[in-house]
Amino acid sequence: MVAVKAYELRNKNKAELLKILDEQKQELASLRVQKVAGGSASKLHQIGLARKNIARTLTVINQTQREQLRLFYQKKKYIPLDLRVKKTRAMRRALTPFEKKLKTLKQQKKENHFPLRKYAVKA
């Protein structure tokens, strides 16, 4: 068994990926049967490769699925929680730039009635 490359898997559609995944799972099952029957050390090594191939295929499937979902929800008002930007809890709750620049009525009046004084400085 040869290790599958992730970049090769990305060119395939979902049906092909699922077919590949099925084949890999069948191969892993047969390797496990051979292990129980008393397979050689090379067969034991093949089990690790098979598991990693399955993981790679599943990773590509999940990544492409998430990518498609991101495109679908791009212009929507609400985005599912798992597709939102993680950041930190504090950052998510922080004021937006628009909210930061808002001023209270009292602050606006104070700035209008008492502007910053300009002084002529002798050089």
Tokens encoding 26 = 């069948």
Mean per-residue pLDDT of the chain:
93
Tokens encoding 119 = 């002084």
Asked if 54 and 27 count as a contact pair (C-beta separation under 8 A), the reply is: no
Percentage of the chain exceeding pLDDT 90: 80
Mean pLDDT of 10-17: 95
User: Helix or strand or coil: residue 51?
Assistant: helix
pLDDT bucket at 2, cuts 50 / 70 / 90: confident
pLDDT at site 38: 81
Residue 40 in this model has a pLDDT that exceeds 90: no
* Helix ranges, 73-93 (H): 89-93
Whole-prediction pTM: 0.71
E strands along 25-121, which residues? none
**Shortest CA distance to 20 belongs to which of 63, 64, 65, 50?**
50
Model confidence pLDDT, tens digit, residues 58-116: 999 999 999 999 999 999 999 999 999 899 999 999 999 999 999 999 999 999 999 99
Residue 119, Cα to own-chain centre: how many angstroms? Answer: 55
Residue 36 in this model has a pLDDT that exceeds 80: yes
